[in-house]
Amino acid sequence: MGAAEAGAAIVHLHARNPDDGRPDQTPEAFGRFLPNVKQRSGCVVNITTGGAPTMTIEERVRPAATFKPELASLNMGSMNFGLFGLLNRFKDLEHQWERDYLSNKGIIFRNTFADIEHILTTCAENGTRFEFECYDTAHLYNLKYFFDRGLVRPPLFVQTVFGLQGGIGAHPDDVLHMRRTADRLFGDAYRWSVLGAGRNQMPIAAMAAAMGGNVRVGLEDSLWIGPGRPAESNAQQVRQVRQIVEGLGLEVATPDDARRILDLKGGDKVAF
């Protein structure tokens, strides 16, 4: 709730096992906190369909299918998925599953055309809109495939992701390339946002905000608030990026702004 109180218009939510922190994509896990989020905040709730690369597509879509959120994330292509670099920074991991997961260099995050279509059709009657997470240029073209066939409707909420091992890099040229490609493919039919992984979070957010884009921050994407400074909370990162946005003379979007910009329906079909 701290992120919403700090000014986040949208909260992107995962669930974890309270005993060992393992990702938990069961509806029961989400049901423990979703009603509280709805009661205490008017922000847009965005439920993950990514879950974890080790889960089946049926497991990953279940919370969104159950709770019918206004917004859900949707990864737009398969990719190598490497977090093994974090082992050099975090030596004292509490649980063995964390070490096993981070050290695995054989993870492929599967998001085939069939997987993507399964999520879209499963949630078709919910009124749920999607945050289309694009980790590389090909993912934008995958989204164009579904757009051209009428399986997704504008305005598309395109979340371009930078700096994750296995995806596009975090150089300013990479950001410009993804923006130019999205402009060419979708014209005025999309809304652009960025997500920078790790130490790239705030520099990429600042660059995108200056270009008129939206930004996503949080501990899922980066554990840092600055060089060598671990972040205390999601809220701390939201406050920092808000200072960047306001320092550029821009307005911070409210939840109602987000609903209007993304053509959300105010959660009239939300089931939690």
pTM: 0.94
pLDDT confidence of residue 259: 97
Sign of CA dihedral 189, 71, 14, 25: negative
Residue 270 confidence (pLDDT): 59
Q: How many residues can be counted in the chain?
A: 272
Cα(147)–Cα(152) distance, integer angstroms: 5
Supply the pLDDT for residue 88.
76
| DSSP helix, strand, coil percent of the chain (3-state; round to 5) | 40, 20, 40
Q: Give whole-number Cα distances, 141 to 50, 113, 145, 245, in Å.
A: 19, 12, 6, 29
Q: How many CA atoms lie within 13 A of 165 on its CB side?
A: 14
Element containing residue 129 per DSSP (H, E): strand 129-134
**Cis omega (within 30 of 0) for bond into 69:** no
Predicted pLDDT of residue 271: 60
pLDDT for 10 = 97
Q: Given this model, what pLDDT does residue 267 score? A: 52
- With residue 193 as reference, give the H or E element that holds it: strand 190-196
pLDDT of res. 268: 53
pLDDT < 50 regions, the chain: none
Which tokens hold the place of 115? 């997987």
Q: In this predicted structure, what is the pLDDT of residue 272?
A: 63
At 29 the pLDDT is 98
What is the token pair recorded at 55? 């889960």
Is 10 buried (19+), middle (13-18) or exposed (0-12) by CB count in 10 A?
Answer: buried
Q: What is the pLDDT of residue 33?
A: 95
Residues 69 and 33: beta-carbon distance below 8 Å: no
Return the pLDDT at 266.
57
